[in-house]
Structure 1
């Protein structure tokens, strides 16, 4: 039986730490608590003396922030995974998290389901990484297909945050046959169908075709170049090239443009290749890979189907004037003006087109995310619960890095606005029972929020007295009685299963005043929550 992975929580507010502890499904995820820390310095001290696998950290910490903690831990070579939490929905925070290869970014108040899903994903990534570690030195007796997979995994590891040591590099050279010089360049290729919506080939078949085409195109080249599939980034293909620094990139441009044309001819796909900076040896290719990844995503502004050299990208002296459409778009959503909302989207992309020489793809992503979050929040505010979330179900982080052009991004955002207004029209046709079912499901997961009849009335344009009557008819309890019951059931669980203080439990279930919480609890269960034993005894008698 393997040891459980250890989790550390770094958060300066004790009540938030305790809330996180209560939300983690320790048993189902097979995790143990390593320790808690109220600041980054304490967390680093803990890491000196014990093993920690998963770290949940707030960004805003005293003296040393969460990103500085991540930087120090990664710099020490510790193979821990991070989940970042923040009370601020700022794109700059998400961008910094991506810089440190942190993919799990949660906003407060943290949803229990989101937290546990992030922990599950991070745990699986660690298990996969450790499985690769155990197989790294077993390549001598592999079949050709296994050797290809092993090579892909090994090269993917070289590109990661934790580079192998000199001994591992020599082992890699021996079994893969790398003969590249001290200078190496990483290039990244993205692919898209020539016609939008055209189905692509199965991944394994596509990879087979790409390797065969590459061997033919590169037959006359003098560069040592390996093509492989990134094991952690779906749909990404990476080149590792070696040779004389003075002539390496010149030969690569010729090779890559010929390869792009061959892919277009034989596979009916459009390829774009980003070329990173040259580096000294395999141990330093992580930086070259990061630059190549940045360059290939510049296709949204510089054009797909080309070779984009990171060294040719420069930041203009004057920053771009980014369009501010938030106020206009919000007004269109509030007043349900579909045509004007689509015009706002068109104006945003027209401005980006006009300023493309001053922008990079991160600027484009920031504008799109800002507008998307505005629409998403308006949908969730107007349609509580899962219905609002279902309206905007696209995998936005994946889409941000997959678009080939501004036109493609604009078509997606316009379809998003269309879906929003389709949902608005559908909402106007709801029956009273439909609204009751939606609100009841919303209460089940959001009972800790400030939910009142006025909120329901404004959201669904239904009279509060009428809603109260039909809610009781369909549910069998009054609206306030149902809401209070859900809060009390959760409070009872926390009293039974945790050592949280009453003030902390009161806040978790939606009461700011602990005295009022105690009064409601006593009325509901017949015993004060401070008398935990008596409360549970009465619970068994109910």
Structure 2
């Protein structure tokens, strides 16, 4: 199994030491590079080693984790970036996504979570490696399949962000264009009912070919267009012009002409979505997404229609922002177990729905989107809620969109979310007791190790020294050191009673390499030396 290089950056020594010692990196398939304590040293290490994976804390002195992620996205895009954070704020996650971060993981991390994370990373890196092609063979294929590559390139430009360097590689396709300065616009022609074309007439693929042929004819009147066909039953058209106003006029004209062509085809239905103009080919994916968004209006307006994103964005922008903001505030209220805030936000959501002017069908869609966002949030609470709780609550939430009226929806939402808030509050109260129990089990197994310290425990269980001290004061009425010493002395007493081992052997068996120090500690706790204790038996 090939091994991948991994770099860890975290400003907390305990976290760095805990993760580095806790994982058997060779067995996991990774080479663990020397960890970094801040963003600047992490960036320097990336320059020197070009690691396959970087796991970085989001908050570090100097340059933080987001700056590290942005540097990697710009200078080492093949490196996977994982963000560790103690913050559940949505804005941090949003910034991480903008920096092309592969995963955003919340602290604390258990051994199981780290193992699962490494498994996912390894699978992703292996998948990427499997698709790498020999460069000379790639150049040969480029000549053999130039038209096919052209189609794929245009589809990529329309579906995801793309770097200017990659655009320049396809300069032959872009002759006469200035891909950085020209204005572009995406038009999407999408089947309304894929797979439902009458079997007695032409097949779906032949219909698409017929529509594409008509689009190709438009090049005589609109020469600055490019056409491509993705795997799904649709046709993409890219329009270009040096002047934005001229492009917008041409785009609407093209959409209307294509709509006329489609309208005369029997037993066949397509709709057209048109995104807004953008400057630079690297931003074309945004126009394409907008065209797809515009096509969502088929739920209200029906099939065989032309939808302009610009016409709908002013009407729906504020409403959609209010939906998203309401959902974000609701997630935060659940995390904070604020029952009053949860109920208020449910009422706000219902109020926005009533005032939105949406059709009943679209209202049900918004309710479904809202409830499934909550379900997705529940899935992230596997450490706080049981599987049965998550399953039952998810079932209840999924059924809410089918209720008869908004009054019933509000009552059901409020009931489900109040139950979530209550369960989280109850389980959070149990967390300290659960954690002290886990530490006790660990010490019962490992008390004989002479290397157990406060740092060992905090690293093993991803808690701070102050929280560890608080736990032992709260539940044991003693310090951690007092508890460990008492446990070792108790184990020593058992050995003195049940074995004839020498004192230095017993000392080593309970975690003391110095038998004199062991005798001193034993006398302090028991009021007599180990020898006196044995003689009294």
Q: TM-score range by the shorter chain?
A: 0.5 to 0.7
Q: Distance in 1 between matches of 2:49 and 2:332?
A: 53
Aligned to 1:476: none
Aligned to 2:477: none
Q: 2:468 aligns with which of 501, 509, 512?
A: 512
Q: How does 1:24-423 map to 2 (within 5 A)?
A: 26-27=25-26, 30-76=29-75, 78-110=77-109, 111-112=113-114, 115-116=117-118, 118-120=120-122, 122-124=124-126, 126-127=128-129, 130-131=132-133, 136-140=138-142, 142=144, 148=148, 151-152=151-152, 156=156, 159-160=160-161, 162-164=163-165, 168-170=169-171, 173=172, 177=173, 179=175, 181-182=177-178, 183=182, 185=184, 187=186, 189=188, 212=209, 214-222=211-219, 223-229=224-230, 239-243=237-241, 245=243, 247-256=246-255, 262=262, 272-279=273-280, 285-290=281-286, 292-293=288-289, 296-297=292-293, 306-309=307-310, 326=330, 345-350=349-354, 353=356, 372=374, 376=378, 384-391=385-392, 421=416
Q: Distance in 1 between matches of 2:170 and 2:411?
A: 47
Tell me by how many angstroms 1:18 deviates: 3.3
Q: Distance in 2 between matches of 1:224 and 1:496?
A: 74
Question: Residue by residue, what CA displacement relative to the aligned partner does 1:53-98 show, whole Å, maximum 9, x if unpaired?
Answer: 2111222121222222222333335532211121111111122122
- Structure 1 stretches lacking a partner, 5+ long: 280-284, 356-363, 400-405, 429-441, 456-479, 532-542
Are the counterparts in 1 of residues 12 and 37 from structure 2 also a CA contact under 8 Å? yes
* Cα separation, partners in 2 of 1:416 and 1:374, compared to 1, 3 Å: farther
Tell me by how many angstroms 1:100 deviates: 2.1
Q: Tell me the SS of whatever aligns to 2:216.
A: coil
Q: Tell me the SS of whatever aligns to 2:59.
A: coil
Q: Distance in 1 between matches of 2:271 and 2:446?
A: 56
* Cα separation, partners in 2 of 1:106 and 1:236, compared to 1, 3 Å: farther
Tell me by how many angstroms 1:308 deviates: 1.8
Tell me by how many angstroms 1:42 deviates: 0.7
* Cα separation, partners in 2 of 1:53 and 1:148, compared to 1, 3 Å: same
Give the structure-1-normalised TM-score. Answer: 0.58
Q: Distance in 2 between matches of 1:320 and 1:259?
A: 35
Q: Distance in 1 between matches of 2:230 and 2:30?
A: 32
Q: Distance in 2 between matches of 1:238 and 1:23?
A: 51
Tell me by how many angstroms 1:116 deviates: 2.8
Tell me by how many angstroms 1:41 deviates: 0.7
Question: Residue by residue, what CA displacement relative to the aligned partner does 1:297-346 show, whole Å, maximum 9, x if unpaired?
Answer: 47779988623259987999xx9796597499969x9999x999976642
Tell me by how many angstroms 1:178 deviates: 5.1
Give the structure-2-normalised TM-score. Answer: 0.58
Q: Distance in 1 between matches of 2:216 and 2:490?
A: 79
Aligned to 1:431: none
Q: Distance in 1 between matches of 2:351 and 2:142?
A: 59
* Cα separation, partners in 2 of 1:57 and 1:343, compared to 1, 3 Å: same
Matched residue count: 437
Q: Distance in 1 between matches of 2:486 and 2:234?
A: 56
Q: Distance in 2 between matches of 1:68 and 1:105?
A: 15
* Cα separation, partners in 2 of 1:380 and 1:505, compared to 1, 3 Å: closer
Q: Distance in 1 between matches of 2:137 and 2:330?
A: 51
Q: Tell me the SS of whatever aligns to 1:185.
A: strand
Are the counterparts in 2 of residues 275 and 308 from structure 1 also a CA contact under 8 Å? yes
Q: Distance in 2 between matches of 1:236 and 1:451?
A: 57
Tell me by how many angstroms 1:6 deviates: 1.5
Are the counterparts in 1 of residues 189 and 270 from structure 2 also a CA contact under 8 Å? no
Larger Rg: 1 or 2?
2
Structure possessing the higher relative contact order (Cα contacts under 8 Å, 6 or more residues apart): 2
RMSD: 6.2
Are the counterparts in 2 of residues 274 and 310 from structure 1 also a CA contact under 8 Å? no
Aligned to 2:11: 12
Q: Distance in 2 between matches of 1:257 and 1:529?
A: 83
Q: Tell me the SS of whatever aligns to 1:7.
A: strand
Are the counterparts in 2 of residues 53 and 80 from structure 1 also a CA contact under 8 Å? yes
* Cα separation, partners in 2 of 1:259 and 1:23, compared to 1, 3 Å: farther
Q: Tell me which moved more, 133-142 or 59-68.
A: 133-142
Q: Tell me the SS of whatever aligns to 2:17.
A: helix
* Cα separation, partners in 2 of 1:122 and 1:250, compared to 1, 3 Å: farther
